[in-house]
Amino acid sequence: MSTKASVIAKSEKLCYSRQKIGLRKDGGRIMNETMKEQTAEICKEENEVAWNQLTYEAWIHKFGTCEQAAAKIQKNPEKMLQVLLPKFGEVKGKKIANLMGSNGTKAVALALMGAQTTVMDFSEGNCRYALELAKEAGVSIRYVLENIVELPEEELTGDYDLVFAEIGILHYFTDLHPLFTTAYQLLKKDGIFVLRDFHPVSNKLITSRGTTAKIRKHKVTGDYFSTELVESEISYAKYMPDSETKKVYLRKWNLGEIITAMAEVGFHIESLDEEPNMSCEQYDKGIPKTFTIKATKR
C-alpha cells in the first residue's frame, strides 16, 4: 500500500471558545468576575501552547518510536479501538474523521482495517507523530491541522460515514455546541457520531486514591453541577517527568449537559453506555469510569 499523508495548515491563532467562564484551581482560590474575564483569553492561549509544547516527545516516551508503535498496531489494529469498534460497525471502505485525533493511533488502526481516515487536530506535535506513524505502518491518513470548531468551509463536506471523538476531549471546550455542530456538518445523512469520554462521576464528582483494589478509596470532593474552569496538568505530563509542562484549563461537563447539547444540534441519540474500569473488573468496582454515546444524523 502506498504511503501518503496530507496536512492542511493555517497560521492563525487556534482557540476553543470565546466564552468567558470562571477559573478554579484545585485547592486554591475561586476567581471573582473581573478575574474571570481577564482569564478568558489566557485560557485559550495557554491550552494551545501546552498542546504544542512537548507532545511529539511525550508520545515517543509513551509508545516508543513510530516504527515500534506502528509494528504493535499492525499486529492487532482492532485492539486499538477497544469498545469503539462495535459502535462503528464495518469500517472497510468507510470515510471516517477523528476529531481531536491527537497522535493518530486510532486513525492508523482504522486505515489498516481499510478505512479512509482523517484526523482533525491543532497540535503540530500530534500531527508530526501521526504522519510518521502512518508512514511506518504503510498506510495513508490525512491530517487537518486546524482548530476543529473553525474548520474552513471546504472541509465541511457532509460526506463522512463516521465521525468520532474519544477520551479527554470535552473538557477543553467551554461550549459543546460548536464541537457537535462540526461533527454534524461533517457527516452525511444517516452518518454515525460516536463520542467516548471520561464519566463525570469519576472526573468531576469524586476523587480516588490508592493504587490497588484493596486500598482504593473514593471520596466526593467535587460539584457535579459546577460550570467553572479548573487548572490541571496536561494529560501527557506523566510521560515527561523531567520536563516542565504547561498547565491547561478544563471545563468538566455532566452527562445531562453533554446529551442535551448533542440533541440541540440535531443528533438522534441511539445509545448511551456507562462503563466500569475496563482494565480490571474489581478496580473501582461499581463506579462508572467512561461513557460512550452513539448518535446519528437524521
Beta bridge partner(s), residue 124: none
Question: Where is 295: in which H helix or E strand?
Answer: strand 290-297
The reported pLDDT for the residue numbered 273 is 97
The reported pLDDT for the residue numbered 40 is 45
d(CA 139, CA 239): 27
Q: How far is CA 60 from the centre of its chain?
A: 19
Give SS3 for 217. Answer: strand
Please report how the helices 55-63 and 66-75 are oriented relative to each other, as an axis angle in degrees rounded to 10.
50
CA angle 195, 62, 80 (to 5 degrees): 40
Alpha helices in the chain (DSSP H): 33-51, 55-63, 66-75, 84-88, 105-112, 124-137, 177-186, 200, 255-264
Q: Residue 97 — φ and ψ, nearest 5°?
A: -115, 135
Q: One digit per residue, pLDDT tens: the chain, 298 residues?
A: 444 444 443 333 333 333 333 444 443 334 444 444 444 444 555 545 544 556 788 888 888 999 999 999 999 999 999 899 999 999 999 999 999 999 999 999 999 999 999 999 988 889 999 999 999 999 999 999 998 999 999 999 999 999 999 998 999 888 999 999 999 999 999 999 999 999 999 989 998 888 777 778 889 999 999 999 888 776 545 444 555 656 778 899 999 999 999 999 999 999 999 999 887 767 788 899 999 999 999 9
The reported pLDDT for the residue numbered 281 is 67
d(CA 142, CA 145): 10
Nearest to 143 by CA among 166, 124, 165: 124
The reported pLDDT for the residue numbered 45 is 54
Nearest to 124 by CA among 69, 66, 48, 183: 48
